[in-house]
Chain A
């Protein structure tokens, strides 16, 4: 059971210790990397255990199951926990290698990882909210910790919009508790099936708005571009690669597992909103020249695919949503980490990310999109298949546009001033590791697809109709 609680304990102790230390010192940064790496290691082992033996449970302090704090890790949670912590390790490695300028950064990143690890591991709806806010508050502080007035302004907008989303989520939880009489996820899922349609749809909408905001879906996206474009590359990588997973996981958990009837009912709406998001993100991305802005709009576009996969529904659709979320998180983390690096191998590392976003084999992105196509064809939704094709073609255009713009043009014609010298070994190592994972998953996609399938199975089992 140390595997379930271990990551949280390590991160909590490390976060408290780091909060008292000056994060600008290299040793402190290394300590933070070590803590997150240990948590990642435990979560990777836990993932293996969950895939082999099924969900792992722990009720803290040996209390009765409905009194104590309950941690329950199934395949879905384990996949997202390992993914997010892994990306944070790489981003933190790059941040420390670049040199941390704010004393609170390592501690905040550790607390953010703690919140993420907790919310992927909890089996209780309200604990989910608490961990969610823990991660988000760390993120608000992280964006505000450094920078110019424009960055602080972006951080303020980010905080306000997401807090409104959070409080709507809290109201949704209150409604859910009122309607089902319990907070324990498995029991909630059971009771939610018997709810009146009007009650359930109200709850579902409040959850959708909350997680849509977190993901940066089209109508809730406006906080995202400035934030991603102004944050430092490692912080942007943490946001796009780890923090945005909250939205994908929340939609899968609350939509797929707890309110499946409402998810099926709103399938058309989800596909429409997802499509609009894809089109909007891609068109805006093509129109931008600044690499980071292109990546930000690309993030908006790509989360639309997750929504489309959810709309397609069924085990195949859910599996595609998970596989695509994993590939997308890796892609975005890789691109943000590598877009401003120069020197040996950096163009190759960046190119891996570009190919993966465009969905060219052999990369993880190819299999993420292939899973989506598979789901579309099986659901015989030709509309969706056509949309995926057009969306894919558009992303092909904008990623190669930035590649060309950034790497093939003389320095003085570029939008963003890029560093003159070569990037340090640590900076390149961090991006290189993510690139390696993307390539390995592209050459040997079995783990990615199996994880997607098992996670989808966990969702279907949780709602009790599998």
Chain B
């Protein structure tokens, strides 16, 4: 059973990380949700004990009760994971409304162009020019 859990967590975590590294932000969020679920599964599997239902009062000599704590922890972790996923999706909506793209490549290209425009208005470069030195013109927007 431990092996099954370990393998499942490994596969889910790996798939999550793979998605995290994609350029499409929706995939990134999906990847994060997978990583969150891998963490929840790890929590579950940290208390994998077979036993009776853990209801008080425990009657002495019967077989030991299973661990109820991990269930509570996992429930909390699921709620937190759900909240963060919702928040990230909301962020994507905001980004999409502003930029009409959810692709990281598009977004960073636009940002680089904006940075290049700022660079072009660089006061320091003017100072170099005043001194009569050559200045490499920054490449502005393709």
A contact residues vs B (CB 8 Å cutoff): 126, 130, 133, 137, 140-141, 144, 148-150, 152-153, 155-156, 159-160, 163-164, 167-168, 170-171, 173-175, 177-178, 183, 289, 412-413, 415
Q: Which of B43, B84, B92, B94 is A137 in contact with, Cβ under 8 Å? A: B84
Q: Give complex CA distance A140, B99 in Å.
A: 20
Looking across the interface, which residue of chain B has its beta carbon closest to that of A164?
A: B35
A153 in contact with B36 given A160-B20, A174-B42, A178-B46 (CB within 8 Å): no
B contact residues vs A (CB 8 Å cutoff): 20, 25, 28, 32, 35-36, 38-39, 42-43, 45-47, 69-70, 73, 76-77, 80, 83-84, 87-88, 90-92, 94-95, 98-99, 107, 110-111, 114, 123-124
Residue pair A177, B46 in contact (C-beta under 8 Å): yes
Q: Give complex CA distance A160, B29 in Å.
A: 8
A153 in contact with B39 given A133-B80, A137-B84, A413-B123 (CB within 8 Å): no
In the bound complex, residues from chain B placing their C-beta under 8 Å from that of A413 are 123
Q: Which of B38, B76, B107 is A130 in contact with, Cβ under 8 Å? A: B76
A170 in contact with B95 given A149-B107, A150-B114, A177-B46 (CB within 8 Å): no
Min CB gap B102→A, angstroms: 10
In the bound complex, residues from chain B placing their C-beta under 8 Å from that of A141 are 87
Looking across the interface, which residue of chain B has its beta carbon closest to that of A145?
A: B94
Residue pair A149, B95 in contact (C-beta under 8 Å): yes
11 contacts between A and B (CB under 8 A): A133-B80, A137-B80, A137-B87, A149-B98, A149-B99, A159-B87, A164-B32, A164-B35, A171-B42, A177-B73, A178-B45
The interface residues of chain B, by DSSP majority, are classed as helix
In the bound complex, residues from chain A placing their C-beta under 8 Å from that of B94 are 144, 152
Q: Give complex CA distance A178, B35 in Å.
A: 19
Q: Give complex CA distance A148, B95 in Å.
A: 9
In the bound complex, residues from chain A placing their C-beta under 8 Å from that of B42 are 170-171, 174-175
Report which residue of A148, A174, A412 has the largest number of chain B beta carbons within 10 angstroms of its beta carbon.
A174
A177 in contact with B39 given A130-B80, A160-B28 (CB within 8 Å): no
In the bound complex, residues from chain A placing their C-beta under 8 Å from that of B69 are 177, 183
Min CB gap B92→A, angstroms: 8
A144 in contact with B46 given A160-B28, A167-B36 (CB within 8 Å): no
In the bound complex, residues from chain B placing their C-beta under 8 Å from that of A289 are 124
In the bound complex, residues from chain B placing their C-beta under 8 Å from that of A174 are 39, 42-43, 45-46, 73
Residue pair B95, A156 in contact (C-beta under 8 Å): yes
Residue pair A152, B91 in contact (C-beta under 8 Å): yes
Q: Which of A133, A153, A160, A175 is B46 in contact with, Cβ under 8 Å? A: A175
Looking across the interface, which residue of chain B has its beta carbon closest to that of A226?
A: B111
Residue pair A177, B111 in contact (C-beta under 8 Å): no
In the bound complex, residues from chain B placing their C-beta under 8 Å from that of A152 are 91, 94-95, 98
Residue pair A126, B76 in contact (C-beta under 8 Å): yes
Residue pair B84, A163 in contact (C-beta under 8 Å): yes
In the bound complex, residues from chain A placing their C-beta under 8 Å from that of B83 are 137
In the bound complex, residues from chain B placing their C-beta under 8 Å from that of A148 are 98
Looking across the interface, which residue of chain A has its beta carbon closest to that of B44?
A: A174
Looking across the interface, which residue of chain B has its beta carbon closest to that of A170?
A: B39
Q: Give complex CA distance A412, B124 in Å.
A: 12
Residue pair B47, A178 in contact (C-beta under 8 Å): yes
Looking across the interface, which residue of chain B has its beta carbon closest to that of A167?
A: B39
In the bound complex, residues from chain A placing their C-beta under 8 Å from that of B91 are 140, 144, 152, 155-156, 159
Report which residue of B28, B70, B98, B110 has the largest number of chain A beta carbons within 10 angstroms of its beta carbon.
B98
Q: Give complex CA distance A124, B42 in Å.
A: 19
In the bound complex, residues from chain B placing their C-beta under 8 Å from that of A412 are 123
Min CB gap B99→A, angstroms: 5
Residue pair B98, A163 in contact (C-beta under 8 Å): no
Residue pair B32, A171 in contact (C-beta under 8 Å): no
In the bound complex, residues from chain B placing their C-beta under 8 Å from that of A137 are 80, 83-84, 87
Looking across the interface, which residue of chain A has its beta carbon closest to that of B37?
A: A167
Min CB gap B50→A, angstroms: 16
Residue pair A160, B32 in contact (C-beta under 8 Å): yes
Residue pair B43, A150 in contact (C-beta under 8 Å): no
In the bound complex, residues from chain A placing their C-beta under 8 Å from that of B77 are 170
Q: Give complex CA distance A141, B47 in Å.
A: 33
In the bound complex, residues from chain A placing their C-beta under 8 Å from that of B110 are 149
Min CB gap A59→B, angstroms: 16
In the bound complex, residues from chain A placing their C-beta under 8 Å from that of B98 are 148-149, 152
